[in-house]
Structure 1
Amino acid sequence: MKTYYRAIAQSDAAQPEDAYVLAGGWTWFSHVECLRRDGTRSVVPASTVPDHILEALTKRRAPLGYLPMTKPQIMGILNVTPDSFSDGGHFDAPEQALAHARMMASQGATLIDVGGESTRPGAAEVAVSDEISRTIPAIRAISDALDVPISIDTRKAPVARAALAAGAMLVNDVAGFTFDPELAPLCAELRAPVCVMHAQGDPQTMQQNPQYDDVLLDVYDFLESQIAMLVGIGIPQDQICVDPGIGFGKTLAHNLALLSRISLFHTLGCPVLLGASRKGFIKTIGNAPNPERRVGGSVAVALEGVAQGVQILRVHDVDDTRQALQLWQAVTIGEFNGA
């Protein structure tokens, strides 16, 4: 039976001399949780795990494109859609998109994620031509005006090709490269970094009674398989990041199971992206029906992700996240080196 190994990430200032640094980042670990599909779990010293697991956990992550993975990065969400769950219709003109991107970059976003198709629960598929007409003017405007990397949030190869030509750097596929068989080969051909996300079902059906044998391990196995596929067609592993897909075909219990042990995904040897901003489980737990009133819950979840070594935070509220992250880092290490 397969054993899964999860580094128990720590951020205490008193790091033991024999502790290992997780993914070359800002957290450390001395013990690892071993998980199996029969439900057994145990905690063992990190020094006792197989060498290839320890190498995957400790290997310093290479820059993704030209974004360093040795410190947390903030990906600002820019939906150029009329119907996204939180901000649909706010930024669907190029000048509005550029203004919002400019604001997010000034607040601390180091990556702007542009999407032209809502993937909220129940959303219908958008035609390729519509998605291109929404995203490309925004990407071109941002690329011309700002020195900030751009990712294209799409499931479709024609959209990705147009976006990369317009100035996007990274392809962020919420379908984990299962929707369009031409998308992964395109990214390999154009040498584009990618983010592979897990989702069960498509946006129209994904929240209709999602089921898993073990959500944490099922998502891990899917991502592991997709990484192998992407590497096999020529995308370097160090140019792949992974996203467990919070809220995409998951119940509240599934989301919490993934978040409480999100450090498991470092064992895949890739940077980890967390996109939990303003999502429905925050509404339920935090009693916040209005998506724009979910900042506190979103920031709390983001900081727990960073405490478990997550490298990229995909957020709506950039300034609040940046401020919280700076304070978290300062109080964790007990110093502040900024101005």
Structure 2
Amino acid sequence: MIKTNEKIEERAVEILSKITAFDKDKYDRKSLLEELLKFQEELRNILFNNEHADSADLRIWNVIDHLEKLNKDKGNIADDELKNVVKQCKCIGNMISILIAGVAGENKAYFSLQNISHYRKLLKNIELSYEDITSELDNIVVTKKGIFLIEVKNIRQDVLIDEDGNMYKKEKNDFVYDCNIWEKMNYKEQLLKIAVGKYLKDKKIHSILVFTNSNISVENKYRYIKHSFLGQLPHIIDEYEGNKIYTEVDVENIIESVKLNQSNKVYSPEVDIKRFKEDFAVLLATLEISEVRIPTSVEKPKFNILIAIRNILRRYGERSKNICRASEHLTEVL
């Protein structure tokens, strides 16, 4: 365990004063990513000088590497505490990666949808709620022919969707379960129908599962899910053969109705940020100030030649006895 002293405590307080991110308990999705990125920047600037951190484009994974090196240089004086902080750092890093990938995919789809030639209105990153169900809708397209719900997947692995709507991503040589994509998209359809309300004329939402990476393979065995790659998306909507059921006024009303029904739900980070700040500050202060631990040497057993010779003779004697017994038995048989 780390033994704190006055110098370590003073340094820990100083480190804490430099971390200003997450001054609230809960955030909406957009603000959560912004706060996570700010938090990451503050951590790296504490460990590295600001100029070096910016030029090297360091991330929280570099924070982990640096802490592990400091601990090793100090003779592993804080293994348990380091393990705890590293675990929380990885969780924060994964949250950042997932949110960034999601936003990147949604933006790619949104820009692709700008190429629709017909009259249309677009919405992106819309969060809707009804009772205990909350979900984020990546992109919504409203044309005179219908309402299109776009579910975006910004992934690099090959994908399999089975006959029951279960989606699997290929990891190495096996397909690993990700989610039931049909259930997920169905929830979003129902939420969108509720948000559109009285302006929904044909009681139908056209859902499309879109993959941003055209280099992956997608095998879709579920007949009720339509999927496409990003480049095909504008053409699918442009070439939809339905009748024109909405006027431009209807389209505007649908967009406004969805906006009015947006959820204001807020979220807490998966990590106890307050506790993490304290753990990080104490760990870093300890690694900076504590003296190097000199490992105690382990005394190797001394080689005793007499014991070694005795063991060899004993093994040789047992072997000789076995040979003699075998010879006597062979003589009796012959």
* Class of the TM-score when normalised by the shorter of the 2 chains: under 0.3
Bigger radius of gyration among the two:
2
Q: Which has the higher contact order (CA 8 A, sep 6+)?
A: 2
| TM-score, with structure 2 as normaliser | 0.23
